[in-house]
Amino acid sequence: MEGAGTKAKPMRGADGEYPRNPLFRRKSTKALLTDAAAEAVGLKRALGALDLTLLGIGAIVGAGIFVLTGVAAAMYAGPAVMVSFAVSGTACAMAALCYAEFAAMIPVAGSAYSYAYATLGELIAWIIGWDLVLEYAVGAAAVAVGWSGYLRVVLNGIGIPMPAALTHAPGALPAGIFDLPALLVVLAVTAVLYAGIVETARLNSIIVGIKLFVIGMVIVVGAFFVRPTNWTPFMPMGWSGLMRGASVIFFAYIGFDAVSTAAEEVVYPARDLPVGIIASLAVCTLLYVAVAAVLTGMVPFKKIDVNAPLASAFVQRGLNAVSGIVSLGAVAGLTSVLLVLLLGQSRVFFAIARDGLLPPAFSRVHPRFRTPYVPTVLTGVLVGVAAALLPIQEIAELTNIGTLFAFTLVCIGIWVLRYLDPAMRRPFRTPLVPAVPILGALSCSYLMKSLPLVTWIRFFAWMGLGLIIYFAYGRYHSRMATGAGAREAGVSAAP
């Protein structure tokens, strides 16, 4: 990476060595950890392995199982949506192993953004950080829309209908103007996040308990009403339909990566982060496949309600009381997903701003609550407005491409760092390197290929905006550019 004729040593990735090309300067893992430890008023360390596992389950089990299962089955995969979940889960498992190594090795806020800074350089780190902003913000908006849909089911069931104009985004229904419930739930969750990580974790644990009970009831009760004839034809739209379904429901697995964004709030990160990431993904994959089997066995895939598939399936089988409980569970479950996604969003903003790539206001920590309050409030407002004005399917597909891109770069980053710094201490090691990272990157890339062209166009437009911000602001205000990051690592800044 060095320019011709320079006398500097080539970059090997060890602490204290930085390339002269500013676009690819890397922040050493030592500097990342120094920044996290040097905060005057740091984030509060209060989370353990169980908290992280519940955070992961809280984020993963939500819109995917309560909403997008119906979308993928009715529109793309049919009963083969069970296999679609397994395909997405396999791709996620390989990415999760890579995330676990990074999270244990570099336990700082920022998730894949921070990992990319240590391995692939500042420009790639900015790109993936900007991508994570898209993933969490748009994902949270999609969840809020799903939450609003299930709330309508609950209120209609008790005789309190809400006007379509105030409960649907423009384009979702001809009469839709503004999704007010989606906006209100985002603002309420933002208030909890503002108050502190302990309160957030406590609320999340309660909600996760409720929705796991509801999902267990769906599987046990629904199994008695499964008709095997509903599983034929198993792949009505062929392999392409199955894979398109896998790419759509990949949204259902967003969450385990959000666990790593809370790294600076974990008491024993090297031990507990890998446990939280892998355990939450394993539990949720099993639940997804079981629920998909029950749903497509209860109702012919063409008759699945894409807005509230689980609740409507029980209504079609005459189990209105169970449908009401499912809807209440969905409302609770989607709330916890929203909680974790907004948590991840604010922590990514916090990490990027701490490195100087965004204005310093985004890295301010509240002196009393010890939370990054500026990005928390800003994210809540912007996500709430997006949820009120955008339909869920378009939001979900845009979230998926952002997530898959992030997973791909994390998988590549593990392989790169094993080469650059093989002697670095790794409390958790991804097995079968380079096979697992390569397969993880290829799997995620293949799922990206299955997404529609319009999603790619929107993705590149978002990335283009991000590059404008980086070259106009971040490149010149980066702490690595000013020498602050290099001084903390004990070396000189690149000229």
**pLDDT by residue (tens digit) across 301-326?**
988 887 678 888 888 888 888 888 88
Structure tokens of 124? 């790639």
pLDDT beyond 60 at 124? yes
What is the rounded distance in angstroms from the CA atom of residue 101 to the CA atom of residue 263? Answer: 13
Give the pLDDT confidence score for residue 36 in this predicted structure: 61
Tokens 């500026």 label which residue?
374
Is residue 463 very low, low, confident or very high in pLDDT (cuts 50, 70, 90)? very high
pLDDT beyond 50 at 442? yes
For residue 227, CA distances in Å to 83, 98, 223, 314, 322 come to: 18, 40, 9, 13, 18
Q: In the 8-state DSSP scheme, what is residue 47?
A: B
What is the rounded distance in angstroms from the CA atom of residue 342 to the CA atom of residue 475? Answer: 26
pLDDT beyond 80 at 62? no
Q: Which residues pair with 266 in a beta bridge?
A: 47
What is the rounded distance in angstroms from the CA atom of residue 44 to the CA atom of residue 34? Answer: 16
What is the rounded distance in angstroms from the CA atom of residue 403 to the CA atom of residue 133? Answer: 10
**Of 246, 338, 341, which is closest to residue 292 (Cα–Cα)?**
246
Give the pLDDT confidence score for residue 392 in this predicted structure: 62
pLDDT above 90 as % of the chain: 17
Least confident of 152-166, 231-245, 271-285, 409-423: 152-166
Q: In the 8-state DSSP scheme, what is residue 423?
A: T
pLDDT beyond 50 at 495? no
pLDDT beyond 60 at 479? yes
Taking residues 110-135, report their average pLDDT: 85
pLDDT beyond 90 at 229? yes
Q: What is the pLDDT of residues 376-423, one digit of tens each?
A: 888 889 899 888 887 766 666 677 788 788 888 889 989 888 888 888
Give the pLDDT confidence score for residue 16 in this predicted structure: 41
pLDDT beyond 80 at 369? no
What is the rounded distance in angstroms from the CA atom of residue 405 to the CA atom of residue 400? Answer: 8
Is residue 1 very low, low, confident or very high in pLDDT (cuts 50, 70, 90)? very low
Give the pLDDT confidence score for residue 396 in this predicted structure: 63
Q: At what angle do helices 81-105 and 269-298 cross, to 10 degrees?
A: 170
Give the pLDDT confidence score for residue 172 in this predicted structure: 64
Least confident of 81-90, 225-234, 392-401: 392-401
Give the pLDDT confidence score for residue 42 in this predicted structure: 57
**Average pLDDT value over all residues in the chain:** 81
Taking residues 260-264, report their average pLDDT: 73
Domain ranges of the chain: 43-448
Please state which of the four CATH numbers 1.20.1740.10, 2.40.480.10, 2.60.40.1290, 1.10.3860.10 is assigned to the domain occupying 43-448. Answer: 1.20.1740.10
What is the rounded distance in angstroms from the CA atom of residue 304 to the CA atom of residue 158? Answer: 22
Per the confidence metrics, is the pTM higher than 0.85?
A: no
Whether 252 contacts 73, CB under 8 Å: no
